[in-house]
Copies of this chain bind each other. A is one copy, B any other.
Amino acid sequence: MADNKKLVAEITSMDEDFTQWYTDVCIKADLVSYSNIKGCMVIKPAGYAIWELIQKHLDARFKETGVQNAYLPMFIPESLLQKEKDHVEGFAPEVAWVTHGGLEPLAERYCVRPTSETLFCDYYKGEIHSYKDLPQVLNQWCSVVRWEKETRPFLRSREFLWQEGHTAHATFEEAEERTQQMLNVYADFLENDMAIPVIKGQKTDKEKFAGAEATYTVEALMHDGRALQSATSHNFGDGFAKAFGIQYAGKDNQLHYVNQTSWGLTTRTIGAMIMVHGDNSGLVVPPKIAPIQVVVIPIQQKKEGVLDAAYDIAKSLSAFRVKTDDTDRTPGYKFSEQEMRGIPVRIEIGPKDLEAGKCVLVRRDTREKIECAISDVPAKVGELLDQIQKDMFDRAKKHLEAHTFAAHNKEEFEEAFKETKGFVKAMWCGCRECEDKIKEDYNVTSRCIPFEQEKLSETCVVCGKPATKMVYWGRAY
Task: Report if A42-B71 is in contact (Cβ < 8 Å); known contacts: A93-B103, A103-B93.
Answer: yes
**Residues of chain A from 21 to 57 with CB closer than 8 A to chain B in the complex:** 33, 35-37, 40-45, 48-49, 51-52
Q: Which of A74-82, A251-259, A422-430 contacts B (4 or more CB under 8 A)?
A: A74-82
Q: Which of A127-135, A292-300, A361-369, A374-382 contacts B (4 or more CB under 8 A)?
A: A127-135
| CB proximity of A276 to chain B, nearest CB, Å | 23
A465 to B98 CA separation, bound complex (whole angstroms): 51
A96 to B74 CA separation, bound complex (whole angstroms): 12
Name which residue of chain B comes closest to A146, CB basis: B102
A72 to B40 CA separation, bound complex (whole angstroms): 8
Q: Which residues of B contact A42 (CB under 8 A)?
A: 70-73, 123
Name which residue of chain B comes closest to A120, CB basis: B42
A128 to B225 CA separation, bound complex (whole angstroms): 38
Q: Which of A137-145, A410-418, A448-456 contacts B (4 or more CB under 8 A)?
A: A137-145
The winner among A93, A97, A101 for most chain B CB atoms within 10 A is A101
**Residues of chain A from 84 to 107 with CB closer than 8 A to chain B in the complex:** 93-103
A282 to B142 CA separation, bound complex (whole angstroms): 30
Q: Which residues of B contact A69 (CB under 8 A)?
A: 45, 48-49, 52
Extra 14 A-B pairs, beta carbons < 8 Å, given A37-B73, A96-B100: A33-B123, A37-B119, A42-B72, A42-B73, A45-B138, A48-B68, A48-B70, A93-B103, A96-B98, A97-B99, A97-B100, A99-B100, A101-B158, A102-B147
The winner among A37, A40, A73, A126 for most chain B CB atoms within 10 A is A73
Q: Which residues of B contact A96 (CB under 8 A)?
A: 75, 98, 100-102, 110
Please tell me if the beta carbons of B99 and A99 are within 8 angstroms of each other in the complex. Answer: yes
Copies in the complex: 2
Please tell me if the beta carbons of A35 and B101 are within 8 angstroms of each other in the complex. Answer: no
Task: Report if A40-B97 is in contact (Cβ < 8 Å); known contacts: A2-B129, A69-B52, A102-B147.
Answer: no
Q: Which residues of B contact A94 (CB under 8 A)?
A: 102
Q: Which residues of B contact A75 (CB under 8 A)?
A: 37, 40, 96, 159
Please tell me if the beta carbons of B49 and A68 are within 8 angstroms of each other in the complex. Answer: yes
| CB proximity of A63 to chain B, nearest CB, Å | 10
Q: Which one of B1, B35, B127 contacts A123 once the chains associate, using CB atoms below 8 Å?
A: B35
Q: Which one of B49, B101, B122, B130 contacts A147 once the chains associate, using CB atoms below 8 Å?
A: B101
Verify if A407 is at the interface (C-beta below 8 Å from B).
no
Name which residue of chain B comes closest to A149, CB basis: B102
| CB proximity of A145 to chain B, nearest CB, Å | 7
Q: Which residues of B contact A142 (CB under 8 A)?
A: 143
A93 to B41 CA separation, bound complex (whole angstroms): 27
A103 to B93 CA separation, bound complex (whole angstroms): 6
Q: Which residues of B contact A110 (CB under 8 A)?
A: 37, 96
A122 to B37 CA separation, bound complex (whole angstroms): 10
Q: Which one of B2, B80, B145 contacts A133 once the chains associate, using CB atoms below 8 Å?
A: B2
Verify if A161 is at the interface (C-beta below 8 Å from B).
yes
Verify if A8 is at the interface (C-beta below 8 Å from B).
no
Please tell me if the beta carbons of B37 and A127 are within 8 angstroms of each other in the complex. Answer: no
Verify if A112 is at the interface (C-beta below 8 Å from B).
yes
Please tell me if the beta carbons of B145 and A74 are within 8 angstroms of each other in the complex. Answer: yes
A72 to B138 CA separation, bound complex (whole angstroms): 26
A42 to B136 CA separation, bound complex (whole angstroms): 15
A110 to B40 CA separation, bound complex (whole angstroms): 12
| CB proximity of A169 to chain B, nearest CB, Å | 17
Q: Which residues of B contact A130 (CB under 8 A)?
A: 2
A40 to B101 CA separation, bound complex (whole angstroms): 13
Q: Which residues of B contact A68 (CB under 8 A)?
A: 45, 48-49
Q: Mark A327-360, 1 if CB is under 8 A from B, else 0.
A: 0000000000000000000000000000000000
A99 to B48 CA separation, bound complex (whole angstroms): 29
Please tell me if the beta carbons of A70 and B44 are within 8 angstroms of each other in the complex. Answer: yes
Q: Which residues of B contact A102 (CB under 8 A)?
A: 93-96, 147
Q: Which residues of B contact A138 (CB under 8 A)?
A: 45
Please tell me if the beta carbons of B1 and A77 are within 8 angstroms of each other in the complex. Answer: no
A385 to B127 CA separation, bound complex (whole angstroms): 33
